[in-house]
């Protein structure tokens, strides 16, 4: 850990100004990821800007039936909010599949979006890592990589995004609201996180000085037919090896719409809307589930230890679609997979 200055922002403008004043400044919300990174000497901010006093703690109903979740609403508050549970149960379920009650109480909506990707080597400052130290190399390739990416990886980085909440937000086509030196703007969820390409040091598309102020959800028709299925190395308190957020609309035994977002498989929550679109109108049955899984994983590539994730993801997609179509979402308090 390196010494840093600590200041408290009293307004979003304050926070933006503090970020602009020092390129090595970082925002502190719940701290559940940043503090770990600081302790491991992975993050070495010169200035820590505490944003916990900013007025971003409300969940507001929108006229179209959607919700706007402030960036500082805790993961627990989102998961147990009656409006979220009623209209966006997929989001509630995904949050409850992650971390522990203590962490969910501290972690915030904005912070969850900004979790760093997961990799043994990224967390170990003595190892080379293109994300920590651009150009130094990626020892996960050819090294220990059973938790790593099978989709959208590059030769520079095969780390995975660890969030459960974001997988649900990807499936729900959420919008991220941000504010920066040039004012407010919106980023579609699919565009918020990035694939590593040749610049894995950047996890997202925020511009310098920008801060996440909230996440917006539009009303949808998925409340009855969705699931969040998370597979991991132990039954709780572990990052996903593979997770699937599925949201479907079925009429007369056929898909009107099918959305599948995957966690634990890529540098960002993975979605392929073009592939999904091909299945609109297809019979909502086992054969379609398998074809859709084939299609979503067509480009999947293992790196050795993580080869098993390809068949595991395939089976998880099929199971999740079965759960979603049947209207029996995975219960996160039951550790048996339904």
Partner 1 sequence: MLNQSKTVGLPVSRIDGPLKVTGQARYAAEHFGPGMLYGHVVSATIATGRIRAIHTAAAEHFPGVVKIYTHDNRPKTAYRDSRWKDAVALPGHPFRPLENDRVLFDGQPVAFVVAESPEAARDAAGLVQIEYLSEEPHTDIVAQRHESYEPPVPRMKQFMPPPPRGDAEAAFAAAAHRVSADYVLSGEHHNPMELFASTVLLGTDGALTIHDKTQGSQNSCDYICGVFSLDPGKVVVKNSFVGGAFGQALRPKHQLFFAVMASLDLNRSMKVEMTRQDMFYLTWRPSCIQTVSLAADAEGHLQAVMHHAVHATSRHEDYQENVANWSGLAYKCENVKISYEIAKLDLATPGDMRAPGAATGMTALEAAMDELAYAAGIDPLELRIRNFVHRDQNQDKAITSKALHACYREGAARFGWAERSAAPRSMREGDDLVGWGMAGGIWEAMMSKGEAKVRLSVDGSVTVSAAASDIGTGTYTILGQLAAEAFDCPVDAVSVEIGASDLPKTGVEGGSWTAATTGSAVQAAAKAVIKTLLTHAQSMENSPLKEAKVQQVEIAEGRLVLESNHQIGVSMVDILEAAGLEAIEEHAKVGPDMLTMMRYASYSHSAVFVEVKVDEELGIVRVTRVVSAIGAGRILNPKTARSQILGGIVMGIGMALHEEGMIDHRTGRIMNHNLAEYHVPAHADIRDIEVIFVEEDDDMASPIGVKGLGEIGIVGVAAAVSNAVFHATGKRIRTLPITVDKILQSEAV
Write out the residues near partner 1 by the rule CB under 8 A: 1-3, 41, 120-121, 123-124, 126-127, 139, 142-144, 146-147, 231, 233-239, 241, 305, 307-308, 311-312, 315-316, 318-319, 335-338
> Buried b / exposed e across 27-45, counting CB within 10 Å, b at 16+?
bbbbbbbbeebbeeebbeb
Name the residue nearer to partner 1 (CB basis): 2 or 253. 2
Helix (H, G, I), strand (E, B) or coil at 190: helix
The distance of closest approach from Cβ of residue 9 to partner 1 in the complex, given in angstroms and rounded to an integer, is: 24
Name the residue nearer to partner 1 (CB basis): 101 or 327. 101
The distance of closest approach from Cβ of residue 61 to partner 1 in the complex, given in angstroms and rounded to an integer, is: 34
The distance of closest approach from Cβ of residue 202 to partner 1 in the complex, given in angstroms and rounded to an integer, is: 23
Could you tell me which of 244, 67, 112, 219 has the C-alpha nearest to residue 167? Answer: 244
CA dist 236 and 105 (Å) reads: 16
Name the residue nearer to partner 1 (CB basis): 97 or 156. 97
The distance of closest approach from Cβ of residue 183 to partner 1 in the complex, given in angstroms and rounded to an integer, is: 38
Tokens representing residue 265 in the block: 């498989």
The distance of closest approach from Cβ of residue 280 to partner 1 in the complex, given in angstroms and rounded to an integer, is: 26
Strands (E), 127-193: 175-180, 183-188
Name the residue nearer to partner 1 (CB basis): 70 or 98. 98
Tokens representing residue 97 in the block: 């599949």
The distance of closest approach from Cβ of residue 5 to partner 1 in the complex, given in angstroms and rounded to an integer, is: 14
Could you tell me which of 71, 45, 332, 44 has the C-alpha nearest to residue 211? Answer: 71
Name the residue nearer to partner 1 (CB basis): 153 or 211. 153
Helix extents (H) in 70-213:
75-80, 82-87, 89-96, 101-106, 109-113, 165-171, 189-192
Name the residue nearer to partner 1 (CB basis): 33 or 109. 33
Q: What is the DSSP pairing of strand 67-70 with strand 59-61?
A: antiparallel
The distance of closest approach from Cβ of residue 230 to partner 1 in the complex, given in angstroms and rounded to an integer, is: 10
Judging by beta carbons within 10 Å of its beta carbon (0-12, 13-18, 19+), is residue 52 exposed, middle or buried? middle
Name the residue nearer to partner 1 (CB basis): 223 or 238. 238
């Amino acid at each position: 850990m390196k010494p840093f200055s600590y200041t408290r922002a009293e307004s979003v403008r304050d926070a933006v100004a503090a970020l602009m004043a020092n390129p090595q400044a970082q925002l502190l919300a719940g701290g559940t990821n940043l503090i770990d990174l600081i302790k491991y000497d992975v993050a070495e901010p010169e200035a820590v800007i505490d944003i916990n006093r900013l007025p971003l703690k409300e969940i507001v109903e929108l006229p179209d039936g959607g919700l706007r979740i402030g960036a500082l609403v805790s993961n627990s508050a989102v998961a147990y909010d009656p409006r979220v549970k009623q209209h966006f149960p997929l989001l509630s379920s995904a949050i409850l599949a992650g971390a522990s009650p203590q962490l969910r109480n501290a972690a915030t909506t904005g912070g969850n979006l900004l979790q760093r990707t997961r990799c043994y080597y990224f967390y170990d400052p003595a190892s080379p890592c293109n994300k920590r130290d651009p150009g130094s190399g990626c020892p996960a390739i050819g090294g220990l990589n059973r938790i790593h990416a099978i989709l959208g990886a590059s030769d520079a980085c095969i780390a995975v995004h660890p969030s459960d909440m974001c997988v649900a937000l990807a499936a729900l086509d959420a919008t991220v609201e941000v504010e920066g030196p040039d004012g407010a703007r919106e980023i579609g969820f699919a565009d918020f996180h990035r694939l590593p390409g040749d610049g894995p040091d950047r996890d997202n598309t925020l511009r310098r000085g920008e801060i996440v102020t909230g996440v917006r959800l539009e009303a949808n028709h998925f409340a009855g037919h969705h699931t969040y299925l998370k597979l991991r190395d132990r039954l709780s308190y572990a990052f996903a090896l593979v997770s699937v957020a599925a949201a479907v609309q079925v009429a007369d035994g056929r898909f009107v719409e099918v959305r599948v977002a995957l966690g634990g498989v890529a540098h960002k929550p993975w979605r392929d809307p073009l592939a999904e679109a091909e299945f609109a109108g297809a019979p909502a049955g086992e054969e379609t589930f398998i074809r859709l899984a084939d299609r979503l994983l067509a480009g999947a590539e293992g790196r050795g230890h993580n080869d098993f994730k390809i068949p595991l993801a395939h089976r998880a997609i099929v199971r999740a679609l079965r759960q979603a179509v049947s209207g029996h979402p995975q219960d996160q308090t039951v550790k048996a997979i339904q």
